[in-house]
Structure 1
Amino acid sequence: MISGEGAILARAACDGQDRLLSADEPLAGLQLRCGGEVPGTIAVPELLDLVRSARRSQLPVACAVNAQDGSDVISTWVEVEPEGEGCAIRVRSWHAEPLIALDGTIAGQRRAVTDRHLAELSAWLDAGQRVIAATSDSAELAGLAAAMEQGIGRNWTDFLPPENVTHQQPLHWRLLDGAPVIVEGSSRSWRVSLIPQMRPGYEPSGFELLLLSDQAPPDAIPSEHRVVQAPRRGLVGQDLAPVLKQPIARIVANAETIRTRLAGPLPDAYAEYAGEIASAGKLLLDLLEDMADLEVVEADGFVTTADFIDLSEVARQAAGILGVKAREKGIVIEAPGLQDSAPALAEFRRVLQVLLNLIGNAIRYSPEGSRVTISVEADGTRARAIVGDQGPGLGIADQERIFEKFERLGRSGDGGSGLGLYISRRLARAMNGDLTVESTPGQGARFTLEVPGDPEG
């Protein structure tokens, strides 16, 4: 493991029940804005996971931690060291960036959240893509982590050479984001995700690098729960999507720079045109993501990979991602509390994808000033997440039609593709669960995602 260098910005301490006993600013303020208290259970999900990992292993850990703070995403480098029954926490960096991802889409935000959850190695890079710090809990990547520890200041591609790239560094980070890389000594396929630390209109001040594999380690899940990995994406997902995403994302980024007048003064009419261009680009990116997902769920033999998760934690992350979108309409999202729990055996990123779709639909079709409620429940063998809204509701005949492919029930101009619920139900059933709806016209709707429960949770 590599510890970050530089001044300690904040210190904190927690006990053996993962309660934050004391904290300096700005960590204390973040804890309060995430719905927690001091003292109180750690309210930042990624920090809570890091503390639990250190406490259970009785080993010091360090990692980039990200949290939503109002309209910003806070990115920090945190070190956690077991101390007595609890842990000592040190914060060495603190960066704020706009909540909307670089491509401005929910799909982009979803990718960042899921990549951070699934990454088996994370590193902090400077603006020149040189390694500042890195950490990994994977025994398979111990040699790589040690090499990066000895090579702070070198470019990350010295340790993770991209496949099929003949040009020498420096390469623009956009050309490397998502690139397959070679991990010496590993038989699995790997890719990197580069998340820039930036504000619209400016070049990145640094990067968070995540190393991921779409092939789970053989001992990640007990054999009785192990399933075959999903097949690779077809024409859209494998060939077209990577080619189209970069130019569309660049169009969106440039249009947003113009719209916000970061490049200089501009008449209102032109700023509005730029906003329309950005909105159209975001819709294209979301549609591209939907079409790629459609290929996946309709492929022969499509399966998911089970994770031990808690539906309440995934629901809180989904609610956080869509919080700003809800506030724009004056809608309040009531998410499960920290005391709520629904242990489940399902694929984290697919559960998050379904919940983002359900919550996004609830926000889109609910009146201003209403509420969207998310609750969870578990009975040992099954776990459920329920998303309820105060929208127009659905008649009996429409409650099955709404899950059909490209079905939008006569709606137009709302930017939807008519694929979200179809894909979501396919994903739920691939996880040995289901997605259902209960609704009465004029009284809103309640969508229930049900997946296998974790009997040992």
Structure 2
Amino acid sequence: MAVQEPILARAASDGADRLVHAEEPLAGLQRNCGGDLPGLIAVPELLELVRKARLYRLRLARSISAQDGGEAITAWVEVDPRGEDEDGCDIVLRSWQSAPIAPDDTRLAIDRRAALDREVSELSARLDAEQRILFVTSDSPDLQELARAMSAGLGRPFTDFLAPESHGARALHWRLLDGAPVRVSGSKRDWRIVLLPQAKPGHDPVGFELLLVSDEPPPAEEPEGEISLVPGSQGLVGHDLAPVLRQPIARIVANAETIRSRLAGPLPDAYANYAAEIANAGRLLLGLVEDLGDLEVVESAGFATAPDHIDLGEVARQAAGILGVRAREKGISVAAPVAALRAVAEFRRVLQVLINLIGNAIRYSPEGSRVEVRLERHGGQACVIVSDEGPGLAEADQAIVFEKFERLGRSGDGGSGLGLYISRRLARAMGGDLRVESEPGQGARFILEVPADGAADPQ
């Protein structure tokens, strides 16, 4: 006959699942998880077990997990509901094991924080190594005046337009500017600067990604006139719903990611997984909103891009950097080009297309594989080629992959079937094209073509 483990501690709960009595170490765990004694059970898995035992009048026993400061706790708990005339349960602790929690990889933690800031940023800009503005984009009504001023001041230091409150507009090392609070003319919210350096480990930054983030939600705006949901109505998602939905959804994603990555404090694995599901669902919804907004833009009458002289190598490296966290989580390496290739196209739109192509390559490639981004020039066309080691596409699928809402029979991956359609429309609007070369089982090569710049590429 099996020998039963000795009782290490006893506790009791009432009909409202409040812990009314507890011996150590349960009492200490209750307090360290933010609860009181007496008070509602603060250990999530214990609360779930006690609640089920009380509701179904069943004696339940199982292993529970919790986090106590820097330690992971595993305990065997038995919960026995009292007689019909009494509410609550008797709780018995029979085993208790603790182990130090391994700290997250520092690089991974930094990448997660950067991803959170990107989710909720309301203005983003690209800076050179001297913190001078290369381009700016923002959809926030609060920041339109600032975005216009910064766009008109390309080549000037960003601190000419965003002077940190504690330092003024003088030149500072980027680490002193990262996280600095700023005030924005025309906005009642408080803002902070986020500077993400673009550099290889051990090297000085060759540029920066600038984000402007507020911890306060944007003010609610009443839409002008009545929003019509008549099919085929123009401007609904892009002009009315997208700006209203984007920030709340982004904040849901950011808060869920904060919980998942335990940046807000210790959490059992089961609840971290719930938060991950919330974050993923939010990203899918946010992606759909963005795709529908872009669809309206590219299909609107008179749509045109704003061509400029750009370096496709620089755009490709930035796109690969933005998707670096996603690739590492799947064990996929992304090889970005180191050379330069001059082209005439809109930086923001090329970046949008490449993020879509590299993101698709990561999504549909096997773990441990490689995605390669390389540059080629063919006569008057400059090309960016994104190659993966995924399942590839049959010839019939290649003919329809760029069609609207086409997902090639896939389900469950959350894609809208609009990304490649929009990307090809953007490529053609810039005087180029987007095509695919593939064979089943041999991966795929998506080729973005835009007009080459007549000037010689830097060596």
Distance of 1:116 and 1:398 partners within structure 2: 42
* Partner in structure 2 of residue 234 of structure 1: 235
Task: Give, in angstroms, the shift of residue 421 of structure 1.
Answer: 0.3
* Partner in structure 1 of residue 434 of structure 2: 435
* Partner in structure 2 of residue 260 of structure 1: 261
Question: Once the two structures are aligned, what percentage of the paired residues are identical?
Answer: 61
Distance 1:284 1:97, change over 3 A: closer
Report the secondary structure of 1:118's partner residue: strand
* Partner in structure 2 of residue 322 of structure 1: 323
Report the secondary structure of 1:99's partner residue: helix
Distance 1:111 1:289, change over 3 A: farther
Unaligned runs of 5+ in 2: 1-105, 137-149, 172-179, 195-209, 217-233
Q: How does 1:1-40 map to 2 (within 5 A)?
A: none
Distance of 1:239 and 1:125 partners within structure 2: 32
Q: How does 1:153-302 map to 2 (within 5 A)?
A: 156-157=183-184, 160-161=185-186, 169=188, 171-173=189-191, 195-196=212-213, 234-302=235-303
Are the equivalent residues in 1 in contact too, given 2:390–2:442 (CA < 8 A)? yes
Distance of 2:284 and 2:380 partners within structure 1: 39
Are the equivalent residues in 2 in contact too, given 1:405–1:418 (CA < 8 A)? yes
Q: Deviations over 1:24-68 (max 9, x none)?
A: xxxxxxxxxxxxxxxxxxxxxxxxxxxxxxxxxxxxxxxxxxxxx
Distance 1:446 1:131, change over 3 A: same
Distance of 2:108 and 2:305 partners within structure 1: 33
Distance of 1:417 and 1:436 partners within structure 2: 19
Task: Give, in angstroms, the shift of residue 249 of structure 1.
Answer: 2.1
Report the secondary structure of 2:310's partner residue: strand
- 1:415 corresponds to 2:407: no
Task: Give, in angstroms, the shift of residue 254 of structure 1.
Answer: 2.4
CA RMSD of aligned residues (A): 3.4
Distance 1:416 1:111, change over 3 A: farther
Residue identity matched to 2:168: I
Q: How does 1:132-171 map to 2 (within 5 A)?
A: 132-133=168-169, 156-157=183-184, 160-161=185-186, 169=188, 171=189
* Partner in structure 1 of residue 381 of structure 2: 382
Residue identity matched to 1:235: L
Are the equivalent residues in 2 in contact too, given 1:100–1:109 (CA < 8 A)? no
Distance 1:416 1:448, change over 3 A: same
Distance 1:156 1:269, change over 3 A: closer
* Partner in structure 1 of residue 366 of structure 2: 367
Q: Higher RCO, 1 or 2 (CA under 8 Å, sep at least 6)?
A: 1
Residue identity matched to 2:135: L
Are the equivalent residues in 2 in contact too, given 1:310–1:344 (CA < 8 A)? yes
Q: Deviations over 1:60-103 (max 9, x none)?
A: xxxxxxxxx95477xxxxxxxxxxxxxxxxxxxxxx98231436
Distance 1:262 1:359, change over 3 A: closer
Distance of 2:362 and 2:250 partners within structure 1: 24
Distance 1:110 1:247, change over 3 A: closer
Residue identity matched to 2:305: T
Report the secondary structure of 2:437's partner residue: strand
Distance of 1:259 and 1:369 partners within structure 2: 24
Q: Deviations over 1:307-326 (max 9, x none)?
A: 10111111111111112211
Distance 1:155 1:388, change over 3 A: closer
Distance 1:374 1:261, change over 3 A: closer
Distance of 1:439 and 1:369 partners within structure 2: 20
- TM-score normalized by the length of structure 1: 0.56
Distance 1:97 1:253, change over 3 A: closer
Task: Give, in angstroms, the shift of residue 234 of structure 1.
Answer: 2.5
Q: Which stretch shifts more, 263-272 or 418-427?
A: 263-272
Task: Give, in angstroms, the shift of residue 407 of structure 1.
Answer: 0.5
- 1:98 corresponds to 2:77: no
Residue identity matched to 2:424: R
Are the equivalent residues in 2 in contact too, given 1:131–1:155 (CA < 8 A)? no
Residue identity matched to 2:244: V
Distance of 1:236 and 1:116 partners within structure 2: 30
Number of matched pairs: 286
Distance 1:236 1:130, change over 3 A: farther
- TM-score normalized by the length of structure 2: 0.56
Residue identity matched to 2:277: E
* Partner in structure 1 of residue 135 of structure 2: 118
Task: Give, in angstroms, the shift of residue 235 of structure 1.
Answer: 2.4
Residue identity matched to 2:367: E
Task: Give, in angstroms, the shift of residue 112 of structure 1.
Answer: 5.2
Distance 1:262 1:372, change over 3 A: closer
Distance 1:132 1:299, change over 3 A: same
Report the secondary structure of 1:372's partner residue: strand
Residue identity matched to 2:274: Y
Residue identity matched to 2:134: H
Distance 1:296 1:345, change over 3 A: same
Task: Give, in angstroms, the shift of residue 380 of structure 1.
Answer: 5.1
Distance of 1:436 and 1:154 partners within structure 2: 45
Distance of 1:257 and 1:323 partners within structure 2: 19
* Partner in structure 2 of residue 398 of structure 1: 397
* Partner in structure 2 of residue 341 of structure 1: 340
Task: Give, in angstroms, the shift of residue 456 of structure 1.
Answer: 1.9
Report the secondary structure of 1:341's partner residue: coil
Task: Give, in angstroms, the shift of residue 118 of structure 1.
Answer: 1.1
Distance 1:125 1:248, change over 3 A: farther
Q: Deviations over 1:266-318 (max 9, x none)?
A: 34332222221122112211211111111110101111010101111111111
Are the equivalent residues in 2 in contact too, given 1:319–1:333 (CA < 8 A)? yes
Are the equivalent residues in 1 in contact too, given 2:238–2:296 (CA < 8 A)? yes
Distance of 2:112 and 2:325 partners within structure 1: 14
Distance 1:264 1:370, change over 3 A: closer
